[in-house]
Structure 1
Amino acid sequence: MGSDSMSEEQPERHFRTLFISDVHLGARGSQADKLLDFLRVHDADTIYLVGDIVDGWALKSGWHWPQSHNDFVQKMLRKARKGAKVIYIPGNHDEFLRKYYGTHFGGIDVVENAVHTGADGKRYLVIHGDIFDLVVQNARWLAHLGDKAYDFAIQMNRLVNFFRRLFGVGYWSLSQWAKQKVKKAVNYIGAFENALVAEARRYDAEGVICGHIHYAVIRDEQGIRYMNCGDWVESCTALVEHEDGRFEIISWTDLQRENALVPAVAARAAA
């Protein structure tokens, strides 16, 4: 579907704030098409792009930019033009934007991090989180190697889920399973979360909202609310804030897409 037709659609669910991270535009594993479907149904007054929206690492190794990737960029620019507050916090994969802190691109603000004030008055540090990843900071070659391994795991995971769909079995995530089962991965996630919690406390914030590790979760850690947006490579998740200040992770699975989009299409057809 072209960008012009997308702009005519009216989202069915409106939130106070929407947090999206790790879209990895330019990478073959990016599921920008699903994110566009999600945005046809969901909208918000304020949208935070919490890093790794564009994958500069992938683009350096080989150009890949299908129409859906361009459509997402155009959609964000349109939202900014129509009055939505759009804030872009670069991550390690789109670190080329870090030289532009404090500037505006088509109405989109580029900042190092932000403090979001919730509807209930609580303060939340919004940050990508890669600066607390020792592998990224101290062994970039290892981070790039891990990135390639992750791409391979994504391809294998899609093959597995192709056969699962044939047999009517639901989606299964290889990388999420590995993160939960492999002790070192569990320890890594725990250390990452603890570091972000400490940083939120340093900002005198009640919570922290981040991305980077592709693991969506909302939990309380040491009196601080830790929230991770997840990603749009595999889990296809976003974090939303309701008008009453309540936060929720929305996982945009194939079933949820069908349940949300089919009634919306039918309603428009009947109008």
Structure 2
Amino acid sequence: MAEPINLEKLCFNSIWLSDIHLGYKGCRAEFLLDFLNKTRADVIYLVGDVIDFWAMKRSFIWPESHHAVLRKLLELAAGKTRVVYIPGNHDEYSRDLCGSTLLNVEILRDGIHTTSSGKRMLMVHGDQFDHAVRCGPLQHLAGEMGYDFLLFLNRWSNRLRGSLGLPYWSLAYYIKNRVKNARAAISAFEAAAAGEAQRQNMDGIICGHIHQPEIRTIGGVLYCNDGDWIESCTALVEHRDGHLELLHWGDLQQTLKCDRAANDEVVHQILRLPALVKNFQRNA
């Protein structure tokens, strides 16, 4: 029998989320809402592209699930959770508000977080490193169209998986990591980000922007990318001892379902105890 879930495992010092893209049809808002309802943190850092104003200009959508995520974040900010927002390029209008606090949410252009183990981490969205990924206008357009098609396939493949009772799996992430040019662009971005952290004498950097969750050491610098909530459904978390980890919520959600089933089984067995005792007494 599986062990019942330990909710303390989902309590953290810090959580980093980025590239949520509320207002875009590909946003996995229901996954993020589930994540926010099942986790606790002293501070939540929103590292850009929380609301996708670019997508909303093309086609305005704002379903209830997107509103629920925003409402939940504001509820957390109004409570005991410190919420810090670092705008990205898709919500760059919010950069005019940097340095202010709105609805208990601190808005910063960038930031520094010191982990409980003493690591100083630079926090930025990451669009300032686009210069490292060199491509012409036609390549950029082709890449954008290809990525949109990839996300379309990702949405429909997961609808099919859901109807078959299968967990979320990112087709987009799988393909992207097997295309040579895409992998080279990702590596160039990661190197530029790590280089900036090194230039500022930081122990590491935390960013988003490229929808590529990662934790690895580059030239002695800890590079962390918290991923996104379109493809990978990931968050970066700091545990109580200060170590950083990526949570893949699609995978963890399945584990939680199994743990809940284990909890239900434990309750079921406890409820059966009186009948089992009576049966034992009769047969004794």
TM-score when normalising by structure 1: 0.85
- Root-mean-square deviation over aligned CA pairs: 2.8
> Does 1:35 pair with 2:42?
no
Relative to structure 1, is the Cα distance of residues 36 and 91 closer, same or farther in structure 2, using a 3 angstrom cutoff?
A: same
Confirm whether residue 256 of structure 1 aligns to residue 252 of structure 2. Answer: yes
Structure 2 residue 192 is matched with structure 1 residue 195:
yes
Q: Which residue of 1 aligns with 2:151?
A: 154
Percentage of identical aligned residues = 42
Once the two structures are TM-superposed, the CA of residue 209 in structure 1 deviates from its matched residue by 0.4
C-alpha distance in structure 1 between counterparts of 2:153 and 2:181, whole Å:
22
2:93 counterpart of 1:109: no
Matched with 2:242 is 245
Contact 1:136 1:143 in 2 (8 A): no
Aligned partner (choices 79, 83, 96) of residue 82 of structure 1? 79
Choose from 184, 197, 204 the match for 2:201: 204
Assess, with a 3 A threshold, how the Cα gap between structure 1 residues 63 and 100 changes in structure 2: closer, same or farther.
same
Unaligned runs of 5+ in 1: 1-9
Q: Note the C-alpha offset of 1:264.
A: 6.0
Deviations 1:146-197 (A, max 9, x none): 4454232112123234445666766543322332222211111111011101
Unmatched segments (≥5 aa) in structure 2: 1-6, 268-284
Shift of 1:137: 10
Shift of 1:61: 0.8
Contact 2:123-2:207 at 8 Å conserved across structures:
yes
CA contact 2:52–2:90 (8 Å) conserved in 1: yes
Equivalent residue letter for 2:206: I
- Report the CA distance shift for 1:73/1:170 in structure 2 as closer, same or farther (over 3 A): closer
Question: SS in structure 1 opposite 2:14?
Answer: strand
Contact 1:24 1:54 in 2 (8 A): yes
Judging changes above 3 Å, is the alpha-carbon distance between structure 1 residues 82 and 220 closer, same or farther for their aligned structure 2 residues? same
Q: Tell me if the contact between 2:167 and 2:254 (Cα under 8 Å) persists in the aligned partners.
A: no
- Aligned CA distance change for structure 1 residues 202 and 179 (closer, same or farther; 3 Å): same
Q: CA deviation at 1:223?
A: 0.1
- 1:97/1:178 Cα in 2 relative to 1: closer, same or farther (>3 Å)? same
